[in-house]
Amino acid sequence: MYVYFLKKSVKKIENWTLGKEFLHLAVILFLIGLASFLIRDFIYTNPDNWTFRYFWEEIRNTFLVGSLLLIIILPLNLERLIYKHSTVLKKTPINQQNLKEVNTVTKIQTPIVEENFELDIQTFLFAKVDGNYLEIFYTTSNGFEKHLKRLTLKEFDNQLSSFPFIFKVHRSYIVNLKAITSISGNAQGYVLNFKEYNQGIVPVSRSKIQDFNRFYSNISK
């Protein structure tokens, strides 16, 4: 019941964190305490039912009891999410197909004509939002390098729409699905690793997981 209510009440699941879940549960406990206070007249024949003292008492008691449930629910929900994503990943084939079959260099336009550039799909790993700029990561003979471009993620994504293996996995990331070397799961979603890149992780938000599984499975066939 809790999980169902949680899914219905969260609008942007990709922004969900354990801290926000704790806050969400705290709000629920407050509402339960408030409801307990409002029905005191049906339980107790006390002329002081509608005083701040009893209001505080109901809220306090609800949180004391509820905190015991939080200690149990939060770790269980975290474990459920990790298990769910890890189980799905076991059924997802890791694409080892290399990019030599794609011999395409595409012209990328930016708001400033002089800054237009060519993108080599064979070496492209992923792109990441960095304020008003875009960090674009490539493989090189020495490992990897990144270029900073004055471009939005949406503009970049639109110009790569002809490549089915370029996929937006997060509001801040676009990746080359064929460059993925491994995938792991955590409570937030998936974590992607790429060729030669070892200075961080690339997340797949929970709201994108179903689409990611479908697109990734298709390019792995």
Question: How does pLDDT run across 55-106, given as a tens digit for each residue?
Answer: 888 888 888 777 766 676 666 666 666 656 655 555 555 554 444 454 578 8
**Separation CA 123–CA 176 (nearest Å):** 9
DSSP 10: -
* Least trusted range by pLDDT, from 1-10, 57-66, 67-76, 188-197: 1-10
20-50 confidence digits (pLDDT tens)? 666 777 788 888 888 887 777 677 777 776 7
